[in-house]
A = this chain, B = another copy of it.
Amino acid sequence: MRKKKVAILASTGMVGRRYVSILSSHPYFEISCVAGHESTGKRYGDIVKDEGLNIGYAADLLIKPTKPEAIDADLIFSPLPTEAARRIEPLFAKAGFNVITDASAHRMESDVPLIIPEVNPEHLRLIDYQKAKRKWDGAIVATPNCTATALALVLKPIHELLHVRKVIVSTMQAVSGAGYPGVPSLDIIDNVIPYIENEEEKVQSEPLKILGTIKSNKIEDADIEINAMCHRVPTTDGHMESIYLETESEADPEKVTKALDEFIGLPQRLNLPSAPKKPIIVMQDKDRPQVRIDRYAGTIPGMSVVVGRVRKGRSNNSIMLTMLSHNTIRGAAGSTVLTAELMLNQGYLS
């Protein structure tokens, strides 16, 4: 199979570099284009210093301007900042490109699929409807917020088992979630910050769309009430989520554990390259998962979420658990690449 050509927008940024690194040695994709706002015309390898990231042949590519007419690709990865994403991504989609975006700009639009490959691969069907409705040759597909991704992934098997009614989630998020330079060190050493801008809104809304079902060409949100309290703590990578949930049926921690442990999705069945053997790893030790020790657990480092301390709350219909996910892998680039693999497999890139 000929590799599909992919282009990366904002390729000199922190997330863009990670895409270049991942995709420069990917079995399905080859980087045909790196785009950027500055340094256009320069050699990518002269602009991006290799700091532990292997950028391979991409070093020799010349940086292109962020314009549809300058790009040749079957798929566009867009880690653009929100405002730029809002403006620029539709231009690419209109020009016939499939765009996968990490930005929040279009996530909640009713015809944009917000995909976690293990959770709602069937939402990719919205692509056809989006193209028809917007009269575009291409389409926009979105990756959810990092914290929302991990939450939705864990809720999926529990919701199927017990119908989740209500969630109270308190997060302890790593500084890499704020990008670079991000959180000043003076703000976080020996400290906890009980606020992350716009984060709680996303955690409260995105999982409902992800866990929703397509009805008449649009998504009907899952009927779950999510209450989120988000905190920044002094860790580098790995978001912890402390989750309390109430279910319609009586909750048995052993059955919940089993459902989490046995959960696999379409990417596992298709054996996609970035699909971890287990999307959810359940630990039994009472003091696990721990951020520094477990953030790379599993067969594809950083792609599994790790759950521990599954236990009953005070009421019969409640469950409490702790969950860890790697915010810049499963919560960002890793998940997006898995979505791209799924789109290719499902015929959306032809």
Q: Hey, which bits of chain A sit against chain B, CB under 8 A?
A: 49, 51-52, 168, 170, 172, 175-176, 180-195, 204, 225-227, 229, 231, 233-236, 240, 242, 244, 285-293, 308-309, 313-315, 318, 320, 322
For the complex of A and B, the 7 pairs showing the least CB-CB separation, nearest first, are A170-B170, A181-B184, A194-B322, A195-B287, A191-B292, A170-B242, A175-B185
The answer, among B190, B285, B292, B318, for a CB contact under 8 Å with A291, is B190
The answer, among B168, B193, B244, B318, for a CB contact under 8 Å with A290, is B193
Which residues of chain B have C-beta atoms less than 8 A from A231's C-beta?
172, 240, 242, 322
User: What's the Cα separation between A193 and B287 when bound, in Å?
Assistant: 6
Q: Which of A182, A229, A291, A313 has the most chain B CB within a 10 Å cutoff?
A: A229
Which residues of chain B have C-beta atoms less than 8 A from A320's C-beta?
227, 229
Which residues of chain B have C-beta atoms less than 8 A from A291's C-beta?
190-192
In the bound complex, do residue A194 and residue B314 qualify as a contact, i.e. CB atoms below 8 Å apart?
A: no
Q: A182-B186, A226-B314, A227-B314 are in contact. List 10 more A-B contacts (CB 8 A).
A: A168-B313, A175-B186, A176-B186, A182-B184, A183-B186, A189-B190, A189-B235, A190-B292, A194-B322, A231-B240
User: What's the Cα separation between A290 and B184 when bound, in Å?
Assistant: 14
Q: Please judge, given known A-B contacts A227-B244, A320-B229, whether A190 and B313 are in contact too, CB under 8 Å.
A: no
In the bound complex, do residue A236 and residue B192 qualify as a contact, i.e. CB atoms below 8 Å apart?
A: no
In the bound complex, do residue B190 and residue A190 qualify as a contact, i.e. CB atoms below 8 Å apart?
A: yes
In the bound complex, do residue B233 and residue A234 qualify as a contact, i.e. CB atoms below 8 Å apart?
A: yes
In the bound complex, do residue B292 and residue A194 qualify as a contact, i.e. CB atoms below 8 Å apart?
A: no
Whole-angstrom distance from the CB of A207 to the nearest CB of chain B? 13
User: What's the Cα separation between A320 and B228 when bound, in Å?
Assistant: 9
Which residues of chain B have C-beta atoms less than 8 A from A285's C-beta?
49
In the bound complex, do residue A234 and residue B190 qualify as a contact, i.e. CB atoms below 8 Å apart?
A: yes
Whole-angstrom distance from the CB of A155 to the nearest CB of chain B? 15
In the bound complex, do residue B184 and residue A235 qualify as a contact, i.e. CB atoms below 8 Å apart?
A: no
User: What's the Cα separation between A189 and B293 when bound, in Å?
Assistant: 11
In the bound complex, do residue B288 and residue A191 qualify as a contact, i.e. CB atoms below 8 Å apart?
A: no
In the bound complex, do residue B229 and residue A322 qualify as a contact, i.e. CB atoms below 8 Å apart?
A: yes
User: What's the Cα separation between A180 and B227 when bound, in Å?
Assistant: 33
Q: Please judge, given known A-B contacts A175-B189, A183-B185, A184-B184, whether A194 and B233 are in contact too, CB under 8 Å.
A: no
Whole-angstrom distance from the CB of A184 to the nearest CB of chain B? 4
Whole-angstrom distance from the CB of A46 to the nearest CB of chain B? 15
User: What's the Cα separation between A322 and B231 when bound, in Å?
Assistant: 10
In the bound complex, do residue A287 and residue B182 qualify as a contact, i.e. CB atoms below 8 Å apart?
A: no
The answer, among B168, B176, B233, for a CB contact under 8 Å with A168, is B168
Which residues of chain B have C-beta atoms less than 8 A from A180's C-beta?
184, 186
Which residues of chain B have C-beta atoms less than 8 A from A184's C-beta?
180-185
In the bound complex, do residue B185 and residue A233 qualify as a contact, i.e. CB atoms below 8 Å apart?
A: no
User: What's the Cα separation between A269 and B244 when bound, in Å?
Assistant: 39
